[in-house]
């Protein structure tokens, strides 16, 4: 008992100190000067005496989903912006990917600052069902009195007018016979699917096998591409599938890029690659038709080469989570890279939504052409 | 291992029977059994016994194993049901000692066909693309190994039927043919001489699109572009759902739309305001290039 009492006192004292530190700290400093990082355990400071502190407080409120406080702390750029539209911008709507995401952490970096205004670049790290997603946003802050305020100038999403969109899309159903049917009387062959190109390269993350696959048949196919890496003696080093880096449901004559990643593996250890494409007959629908408009290769705000464009939903069905897969070709028409990205906002009928997919810096100069396909996940279908 | 025990081993109907047959094989001195020499599947037969007194009779076949108390010197009747499966049977008779005999039950006359045709879909104009295999079967689905004639016939709507006669060897007859020029169902039948007829259908589908041509017009939303009816090189309309990729290039960049063919025509809206060049492709087929001038 005599020995336990001092230990208890020490534990209580350390806990009290940690709680105090936790409540008073604003952000955690990282190793990079000028970059502040937000996390789940940052404090409740109301100090907005600098743009960094104001930005951090705002993002912390967003992270904690304290919408009233976050909205009150920001300055609206126009009266059209409501708290509802502000919340919708952060939590998503219409079953988009953002609706299922959580702001895990953020990094802020000052771009420019004067006495009256400042520009901050924020890298938002979202945890999503399809893996971590990074979003880079620039915020404008203004000096108001003795404090700084985030200027919220995001235009609210346009309301889709009530309309009737005629839908006469095609649909394939699969009818199977029962087990009592005569042998050989109901055989339906699997769709004919062919890998039309394959390329293996080393990337920063490991070996990558990629190319394109085409459905040569007259029926839809559910397609998966598998790659097996073999060493000099024919032994299997590793095998992987294309997972989500492929358009799984291919309509007749449709072409899809595929990419199979082998993290932490170098091509120098690989003697041979065995490809295998599996195609299954599935019920499918040709709706919605999504156009990929105004694509251009450019550099983003951080100087990375990206392919950006707009998705246009030509039909009457909401696409909750659009998934863009792009194949990039060199001057010989060879696939040199396959990149993909999820669009965080739902694609509403007859509407457009911007997208961007990254291209490795080392390949940007080689890219002469590209082709983009769109995978779509709709809650109504799942 | 003797033939008796090896048969029992292959059949492996039950460990008890197997053990019994091993004992019988070891003890067998003579064979008081007379097994049928020309047994036919599905026909009753008898197994003769000699001697006197009570005995136990066992029969092990491809799809049967039975045990019966019998009187030696009398014939053991085997029903048609007990001999439905063609193949090798082993008869065992045990009294003071056991003896055994093997006999074969041959298949009956061919009265049925198992008919498999491949593929279920085939593009038109493909050489030796369709094949069919027929297996001759008797009443009890035993493969009939004796030679028999199978008549294959195939026909499409509006075209005269074609036929091919083949002799089944070891129970198998087959044919191979090319697909026709017109899309549609291809009826294929295989028939035995006794009017037994089995029918299958192969769907002949259009081949790859040929001479893809597009046209377009400006609308308030953008450019509505559509193909002329998409057909293969034989003039068959491609199946609905075939994807046509429209590519548009303007000052805003490049746009793609993968549009499915509906009622022979694929159409899409391209969001372009300035002057734009649009092309189309489906599979390996390329279409013409369409230039539409700018208009706000």
A254:B258 CB<8 A: yes
Contact A314 B268 (CB under 8 A): yes
Q: How far apart are CA A7 and CA A275, in angstroms?
A: 63
What is the pTM for the complete model shown? Answer: 0.74
Min Cα separation B65/chain A (Å): 27
**ipTM for the complex shown:** 0.71
Q: How distant, in Å, are the alpha carbons of A216, A251, A276, B145, B210 from that of A279?
A: 11, 12, 10, 37, 25
Asked if A350 and A338 touch (Cβ cutoff 8 Å), the reply is: no
Closest C-alpha to A358, from A294, A290, A298, A291: A298
B117 lies within 8 A of chain A by CB: yes
What is the residue extent of each domain of chain A? 24-152, 171-177+187-285, 290-377
Q: What is the largest CA-CA distance in chain B?
A: 112
- The pLDDT score that the predictor gives to residue A21 is 55
Strand B172-177 and strand B130-137: the pairing is antiparallel
For chain A, say whether B289 makes contact (Cβ under 8 Å). Answer: no
User: Would you state the pLDDT for residue A51?
Assistant: 87
Percent of chain B surpassing pLDDT 70: 88
Chain A hits for B269, CB-CB cut-off 8 Å, are 291, 312, 314
Q: What angle do CA A374, A377, A380 make, to 5 degrees?
A: 140
- Name the average pLDDT for chain B: 86
- Secondary element (H or E) of residue A311: strand A305-313
Question: Do A291 and B268 make contact, defined as CB atoms within 8 angstroms?
Answer: yes
Closest CA to B173 of B199, B206, B136: B136
Domains of chain B: 3-106 (2.60.40), 112-205 (2.60.40.1930), 209-292 (2.60.40.10)
Name the residue with tokens 């250890």: A269
Which residue of B114, B270, B283 is in closest CB contact with A291? B270
CA distance B246 to chain A (A): 9
Among A212, A223, A204, which Cα is nearest to A328's?
Answer: A212
Q: What is the CATH number of domain A171-177+187-285?
A: 2.60.40.3230
Would the CB atoms of A352 and B241 count as touching at under 8 Å?
Answer: no
Partners of residue B200 in chain A, C-beta under 8 Å: 184-185
Report the distance separating Cα B134 and Cα B165, nearest Å: 12
Tokens of A167: 């839908």
User: CA A371, CA B174: separation in Å to the nearest integer?
Assistant: 45
pLDDT per position as a tens digit, B6-19: 444 444 445 555 55
C-beta atoms of B121 and A289 within 8 A: no
CA distance B200 to chain A (A): 6
Contact call for A314 and B269, based on CB within 8 A? yes
B281 in A contact zone (CB under 8 Å): no
**Residue B115 sits at the chain A interface (C-beta within 8 Å):** yes
Beta-strand runs (E) in B193-238? 197-205, 209-210, 214-218, 223-227, 231-232
Q: How far is B41 from B29, CA to CA, in rounded Å? A: 30
Any B CB within 8 A of A368 CB: no
Contact B253 A296 (CB under 8 A): yes
A290-377 folds as Immunoglobulin-like (2.60.40)
Given an 8 Å threshold on Cβ–Cβ distance, is B243 in contact with A254?
A: yes
Record the tokens describing residue A258, joined without a space: 């595929």
**For residues B130 and B156, is the Cβ–Cβ distance under 8 A?**
no
pLDDT given for residue A37 in this prediction: 52
* Lookup result for tokens 């700018």: B294
Mean pLDDT of B225-235: 91
Q: What is the pLDDT of residue B29?
A: 45
Cα separation, B210 vs B200, whole angstroms: 30
Residue range B107-114: average pLDDT? 92
Distance from CA of B119 to the nearest CA of A (A): 6
Buried b (16+ CB within 10 A) or exposed e, A283-314: ebbbbbbbbbbbbebeeeeeeebbbbbbbbbb
Nearest chain B residue to A182 by CA: give it.
B114
| Through-space distance between the first and last CA atoms of chain A, rounded to whole angstroms | 61
User: B141: which 2 tokens?
Assistant: 């689905």
CA dist list (Å): A339 to A69, A106, A357, B56, B253: 39, 24, 6, 77, 19
SS3 A238: strand
Nearest CA of chain A to the CA of B70: how many Å? 40
pLDDT score at B1: 35
Residue B185 touches chain A, beta carbons under 8 Å? no
pLDDT digit string, tens, across residues A106-165 = 998 888 888 889 999 999 999 998 888 888 888 999 988 888 889 988 877 777 677 787
Residue B265 three-state SS? strand
With 60 as the cut, is the pLDDT of residue B65 above it?
Answer: yes
Chain B hits for A290, CB-CB cut-off 8 Å, are 257
Domains A24-152 and A290-377 share a fold: no
Question: Hey, is the C-beta of A294 within 8 angstroms of any chain B C-beta?
Answer: yes
Report helix, strand or coil for A84: helix
CA distance A193 to chain B (A): 12
Mode of pairing for the β-strands spanning A117-128 and A102-113: antiparallel
Give me the total of CB pairs closer than 8 Å, taking one residue from chain A and one from chain B. 111
Contacts of B271 in chain A (CB under 8 A): 291, 293-294, 310, 312, 352
User: HSE-up of B208 (CA within 13 Å, CB side)?
Assistant: 13
Angle between helices B15-27 and B3-11 (to 10 degrees): 180
Residues of A in contact with B121 (CB under 8 A): 188-189, 217-219
Sign of CA dihedral B35, B36, B41, B45: negative
**Which chain B residues are closer than 8 Å to A325 by Cβ?**
none
Quick one: average pLDDT of B172-180?
93
Residue contact B115–A184, C-beta within 8 A? yes
Q: Is B118 an interface residue toward A (CB < 8 Å)?
A: yes
For B169, residues 6+ apart whose C-beta sits below 8 A from its C-beta are B147
DSSP codes joined into one string, A87-137: HHHHH-STT-GGGG-EEEEEEEEEEEE-SSEEEEEEEEEEEETTEEEEEEE
Residue among A197, A315, A192 at smallest CA distance from A253: A192
DSSP code per residue over A129-197: TTEEEEEEEEEEEEEETTEEEEEE-PPPPPPPPP--------EE------TTSPTTSS--PPP-EEEEE
The verdict on B271 touching A (C-beta cutoff 8 Å) is yes
Q: Is B210 on the interface with A (CB under 8 A)?
A: no
Low-confidence ranges of chain A (pLDDT < 70): 1-6, 8, 10, 12-14, 16-45, 160, 177-187, 380-382
Chain length of chain B: 296
Q: Which residue of A172, A173, A184 is the best one to mutate when testing the B interface, meaning the one whose CB has the most B CBs within 10 A?
A: A184
Residues of A in contact with B262 (CB under 8 A): 168-170, 286
Answer whether A26's CB lies under 8 Å from A56's CB.
yes
Chain B residue numbers with beta carbons less than 8 Å from the beta carbon of A286 are 241, 260, 262
Cβ distance B241 to A220 less than 8 Å, yes or no, reads: yes
Q: Identify how many contiguous H helices and E strands chain B contains and give both numbers.
A: 2, 26
In the stretch 160-219 of chain A, residues with CB closer than 8 A to chain B read: 168-170, 172, 182-185, 187-189, 214, 216-219
Q: What is the CATH number of domain A24-152?
A: 3.10.450.100
């Amino acid at each position: 008992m005599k020995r336990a009492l001092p230990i208890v006192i020490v534990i209580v004292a350390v806990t009290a100190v940690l709680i105090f530190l936790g409540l008073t700290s604003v952000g955690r400093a990282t190793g990079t000067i000028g970059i502040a990082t937000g996390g789940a355990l940052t404090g409740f400071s109301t100090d907005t005496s600098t743009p960094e502190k104001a930005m951090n407080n705002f993002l912390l409120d967003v992270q904690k989903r304290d919408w009233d406080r976050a909205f009150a702390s920001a300055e609206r750029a126009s009266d059209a912006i409501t708290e509802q539209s502000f919340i919708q911008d952060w939590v998503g709507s219409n079953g988009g990917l953002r609706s299922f995401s959580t702001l895990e952490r953020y990094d802020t970096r000052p771009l420019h600052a004067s006495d009256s205004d400042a520009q901050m670049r924020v890298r938002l790290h979202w945890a999503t069902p399809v893996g971590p997603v990074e979003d880079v946003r620039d915020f404008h802050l203004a000096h108001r009195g003795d404090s700084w305020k985030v200027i919220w100038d995001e235009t609210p999403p346009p309301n889709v007018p009530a309309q009737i969109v005629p839908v006469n899309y095609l649909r394939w159903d699969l009818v199977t016979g029962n087990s009592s049917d005569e042998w050989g009387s109901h055989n339906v062959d699997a769709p004919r699917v062919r890998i039309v190109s394959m390329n293996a390269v080393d990337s920063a993350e490991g070996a990558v096998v990629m190319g394109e696959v085409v459905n040569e048949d007259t029926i839809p196919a559910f397609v998966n591409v598998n790659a097996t890496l073999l060493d000099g003696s024919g032994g299997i080093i590793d095998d992987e599938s294309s997972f989500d880096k492929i358009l799984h449901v291919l309509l007749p004559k449709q072409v899809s890029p595929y990419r199979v990643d082998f993290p932490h593996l170098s091509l120098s250890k690989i003697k041979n690659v065995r490809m295998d494409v599996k195609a299954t007959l599935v019920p499918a629908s040709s709706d919605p038709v999504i156009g990929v408009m105004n694509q251009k290769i450019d550099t983003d705000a951080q100087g990375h080469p990206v392919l950006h464009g707009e998705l246009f939903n030509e039909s009457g069905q909401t696409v909750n989570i659009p998934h863009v897969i792009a194949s990039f070709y060199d001057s010989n028409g060879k696939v040199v890279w396959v990149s993909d990205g999820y669009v965080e906002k739902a694609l509403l009928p007859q509407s457009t939504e911007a997208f961007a997919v990254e291209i490795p810096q080392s390949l940007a100069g080689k890219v002469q052409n590209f082709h983009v396909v769109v995978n779509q996940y709709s809650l109504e279908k799942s | 291992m003797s033939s008796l025990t090896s048969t029992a081993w292959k059949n492996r109907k039950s460990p008890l029977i197997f053990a019994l047959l091993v004992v019988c094989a070891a003890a067998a001195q003579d064979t008081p059994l007379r097994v049928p020499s020309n047994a036919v599947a599905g026909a009753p037969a008898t197994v003769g016994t000699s001697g006197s007194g009570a005995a136990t009779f066992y029969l092990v076949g491809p799809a049967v194993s039975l045990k019966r108390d019998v009187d030696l010197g009398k014939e053991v009747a085997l029903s048609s049901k007990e001999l439905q499966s063609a193949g090798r049977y082993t008869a065992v008779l045990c009294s003071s000692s056991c003896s055994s005999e093997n006999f074969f039950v041959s298949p009956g006359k061919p009265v049925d066909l198992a008919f498999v045709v491949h593929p279920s879909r085939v593009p038109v104009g493909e050489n030796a693309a369709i094949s069919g295999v027929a297996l001759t079967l008797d009443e009890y689905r035993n493969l009939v190994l004796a030679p028999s004639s199978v008549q294959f016939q195939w026909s499409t709507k509006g075209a005269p039927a074609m036929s091919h006669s083949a002799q089944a060897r070891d129970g198998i007859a087959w044919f191979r043919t090319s697909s026709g020029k017109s899309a549609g169902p291809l009826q294929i039948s295989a028939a035995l001489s006794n009017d037994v007829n089995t029918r299958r259908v192969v769907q002949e589908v259009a081949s790859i699109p040929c001479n893809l041509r597009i046209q377009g017009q400006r609308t308030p939303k953008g450019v509505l572009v559509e193909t002329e009816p998409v057909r293969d090189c034989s003039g068959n309309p491609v199946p609905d759902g075939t994807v046509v990729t429209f590519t548009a290039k303007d000052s805003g960049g490049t746009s793609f739309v993968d549009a499915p063919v509906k009622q022979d025509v694929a159409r899409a809206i391209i969001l372009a305001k300035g002057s734009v060049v649009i092309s189309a492709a489906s599979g390996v087929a390329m279409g013409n290039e369409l230039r539409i001038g700018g208009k706000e």
